[in-house]
Structure 1
Amino acid sequence: MKGFFILVLVLFQIQLVAQVISKNGKVNYSKVFVETDDFGADYLEIIEQSLPSVEETELRLQILWDLGYYSHTRNLRKSLILINQGLEEAQKAESKIWEGRMQVAQGAILLRMEKLDQAELVLTSALEKLPEPETWLLMTNLGYVHERRGDLGKAFEIASQTLQLGEKYGDTKVMAMAYSDISNLFWKQGKSVEGLEYGLKSLALFEKRGIKDLDFDFTLHVTGNNLVALGRYQEALPFFQRSTQIGKQYGFYNNLSDTYIALTDLYLAMEDFSNAETSGKEALKYAELLQNEFMVVRSLLSLGKVKKQQGFYQDAITYLHRSIQRATEDFGDRYFLSLIYRELAEAYEGAGEISNSYQAFKRYHELNQSVFNAEADQRIAHLQTEMGVAQKENTISLQEEALKRQNIIQVFTLLLTALMVFFLFFLYRIFSKKKKYSQLLEKQNQEKEFLLKEIHHRVKNNLETISSLLALQTAQIENEELQDIMIESQNRVQSMGMIHQNLYQGENLAAIEMKNYFINLGSYIIDSFDASSRISLDVRMDTLELDVDRAIPIGLIVNELITNSLKYAFPDNREGEITISLKEDQDHLYLKVTDDGKGISKNESVQGTGFGTQLVGLLTKQLDGKMTLSTQHGTEVYFEFKNRKAA
């Protein structure tokens, strides 16, 4: 029995941390609401506890995004802090795509904090950093910004664009989200028949996907709203009940507040004032926990409606004034603000305060007109037609019109066919001439390419001949200092020869791939000093192509620095490593050559002839660059060049 209890406890613990599993020092993570929804309301605490043990950048950013984004369902301020941390880490990692993803989450949070202008600015900035298939969440939140401002036409336009995006990439979640937003916008317009149609379409796709997430929960609520507006109260109730069940399972305070507001309207329609007031207070409780002023305003509006419908007009006026006070002058959603003033006008009227009622109704009318204006209606109707949701025109009149057009089309088709035949013949003649000309140009290009490769080959052979002559001369010199000078000269010639070898052997005759060049050059110099058994070379860079005018001076600089390291950094046959890196960033090149040798002490006199140092300085000036020397740990030489062809 005791063993069974332990087994149950272990199984419970495994389920509890299903999204974060640490095994053999490695953290495996299942993305919440993407790969799994098998967890409870404490999933955010579990993710947060696991974060300090995650070091791998990509995984850490994913966990930070999930933690920050889904925290907005409970605590907006904490959510913003987490996403700002994620944004800093993404920028530090120089990951544009993660920077964009963090900005989308940041925009979503700012939107819910009623900072609409900031949200729009952040979302617009993120657009250029994300690949098109990932822009759907950005577009969705951008649509919410316009919806909150009362520009339902623009919100509808963005929702239709999101739908096209989902259809283009076959993304079920994106299509479901777009249908959900369209359903909500139709409900706001008072077009609940169309709203219900799109809400049910959305739910079918969410059910097919099989993940109970924030958006599925919201769509249950939206579908219920449309049913309430159609007077189908008993049908609406199960949608709201399922929505609250999911909201409590995962701690979606924002959706819980929203759904309890909708339940208030449902119970009011059924004249169940007790449940209506209870639901309104639950909505306010979750809105206060979330610290979301938008939801607080709407919750107070719901309680005001309950009191007004009960005939407690002064209580209703109190709640509605509290709602307006919480909204402030900067409240972005003119639609809900207009509803508050409409309820306030009716409450004043019930209390016999006609003058106040008139002023409140006047304000309601102004706000309502700004949301439901002719231009917005026209835009929505046009988009509705494009998506195929407008009523079809009379079938018979369409057929008659089609017959008339058919006659015109037949005549037009004959004329067009004749023109096309003539045009195709004309194109064929042009194509034949261009093909011959292209073949001639291709032949000339091949000849020029062959000649250019031959030139580079001969230059490389000549440089090798010079290098061989220097080697023969070196063998006859007994003075070690002169031998070193000759070997260095031979290496300089060889470094230039390798450039020309890469040019005639590579596919690109105008540029050299530097990483492979550094590997070959470094290996050659280390071999020339007979040090390959004790000195290793590490080239830390991505593939990078440079033109000859920049490649040769940089090659000579690297040649001098490797030679200096081999001569002075590793005395008494010490083992060590030489590291080279070169990267390009917009209009600059950054070169770094380091060794882990003995370094250079402050009082140490200059060794050798100093020619190598002088040569490096001249080449740096030629490339319009600057050099920095560090001797804290071994020797590190850092160069910054302007990214343009040398003169």
Structure 2
Amino acid sequence: MSCYRAVFIAVMVATALNSHSAWPQVHNRIIDSLKRRLMLTPADTNRTRLLLQIGQLYYDHYKVDRQDRSYSDVRKQPDLLDSAIGYARQVVGLPVATYQLPQKAEALYLLAECYSFGESYDSIRTISYYQQALKAFKQVGSKPRTARVLHSLANIVRLRIGAQQALPLFMEELAIQQSYRDTTIYLTLERIGFLHQTMGNYQLALQAYQQSLRLAEHSNNLSYLEDIYADLAMIYETLGDYQAAITILKKRLGIESPKAINQVAGDHIRLLNLYKITHQLPQARQQALTIIELARQDPNHESINLTSYLAQSYVFLGQYERAEPLYKHLFPIYEKSNNFTGLTNFNKHVGELYWLTRRFEQARYFYQIALTASQQGRFPDEAVSIHRALFQIDSAQGNLRSALQHFQLATAINDSLFNQTKNRQFEELRTQYETEQKDKDLHLQNQRIQVLSQQQQLQTQQSQQDRLVRNSIGLGAFMLLLLLGLTYNRYRLKQRSNQQLQHQHELLQAQQHQLQAQHQELQAHQQVLHTQQNQIHHKNQDLQRLLDEQERLMKEIHHRVKNNLQVVMSLLNSQASYLSDNAALSAIQQSQHRVQAMALIHQKLYQAQGIARIRMDDYIQEVVAYLQESYELPQPIGFAVQVEPIELDVIQAVPLGLIINEAITNALKYAFPNGRTGRVSLGFMRMGETSYELTIQDDGVGLPPDFDPSRSQSLGMTLIQGFSDQLGGQLSIISQAGLTIQLTFSEKELTSFGSHNHYGYH
């Protein structure tokens, strides 16, 4: 069984036993186990696979936390996504051979997924990584994975760029799915229909929805059927086929599946409006009564949508005195909303109430708000109906000039919509003709492929049947022997178990008499212990409150320190924009790297469970990744990082992080001149119970022959020696076949640079 399959089974078992406590514990044990294996695995395909598995497990862990926790709780664990990104970047950064391309493709897709949501959200990086993953999967030849990447890329392009650019991506996904007969092709057709609907191509959208529905009816996916029925009803309503929309909505209501009250009431309000348009007033009245019955399940009107539907039902039934308080209840909520669709519809409904009760000034006020929202949201069809309502109000009040203006505006917008519809219908006919021509060509090509496939199947069918007979005979003999062996083994185990049970029974009888005497003695002590436990419990509660308050204050301090360091980095960056001297710019950049190394410490502190211990494996990985990205050298520089899962006090983590920052910065700036390629290795190992060793090595040009590190006046070397002294460690710098910096220190040894009672930067 492969390592990947073993990890998958373990995660599935943890999920099955879970719940919210079992999953993280099992998940963390699996991750720690893979990290230990990673330290012993050389740089080959197995190492690449382990890096990818660890990154995927961190990403899965984040998704589970995102589902099971509130948004505020998830924000406390951004290190899960950061860890997933760090391991995926290691896979992408490795020199990839042909046989490692599938792992690189998966790592690129994982990076795109990580940057697509959470605090790490970055749409530009998301699109870039999706495009790189798409290219890699095409090279691998994996059609299902290619289709999946296309689907994700098309969705992000639709949201960030537009439907026009996303449509070709969905069409390419559809073609790939058709080539290998994907059973979920109806989901892609629904997306294509939605894009056509967004662009106003209603006939093409209707065709895509109908094709999707025909395929989905065989899948027994009730949730999706509800969604596609809703889309079809909206298209039919837009095209003016109200009876078809009514029929579709009835089918949607007839699906037997768990539904929210809001959803059911929403379908009934749509039916009510459609019956009003088609003048089927008894049926409309029945829908209003049904909504009132559903609203009784929400007596406090906590649901905004359900309350709005109830108010509309009362208006239709002429019970205006019941509708008005509901609208007043909703008004403060909608007043703060930035949803132009909701603002337009709500204020139209309120304006209709005041129009029907002949309170014209109040009706005008709400219709004007609805008009402004429709203009901001670019809803010209809504603007037409609002202008017509304002025309009626002005006519009723005798404001003829204003009424004429509203009538002219409604006519002009309606004429513009009519011309757009005609142009869109012409474009749809042209697109439909081109699509039919392509479908005919594809049909002829598929027929040729089917003929060739049938010939090949006839040739291989006979050989497969012969092979099946031989395999069946061998498998039957093997299963028979296995069954006999298992039966004999079970017989021997049963005999041995009976003997052990008899012996244990005798021992239990002897122990039972002893336990009875001990039980009486324990009952006497139990009362005394109970009193003492109550006292201890009260003291523990007081101590816990003090500890929680202390930890909260410490995390707030670390958070503010991290924010202040980010301000320092921003100031340095602003100062750099005014400098032209390369030496000054380099000094600014090195200062930014040092500040980032310290800021990352404080970020880890206020995100971690504790307040004074840093997990050095995750921290060092992120520092190395940050420096690797900061120095975009033209030549490839490989990185090998091996860090044991060690936790250090913040007093030692800060100087250690700054030493790593200085050493890697010097290697990237000076070790590989003139486009020279090379490799940088970093190791942080536990040498004893409280002693550690840091090794940073590169295979670059090394130090000049006459260079004495102990007498160097360079800031970087001075900082390395100073922070080594602060750690109370032994520093050695060896320049042979490159440069090796080795630091050995103990956790208990701190110099006057810092102590556990005082924390500062020196």
TM, length-normalised to structure 1 = 0.42
| Structure with the largest fraction of helix | 2
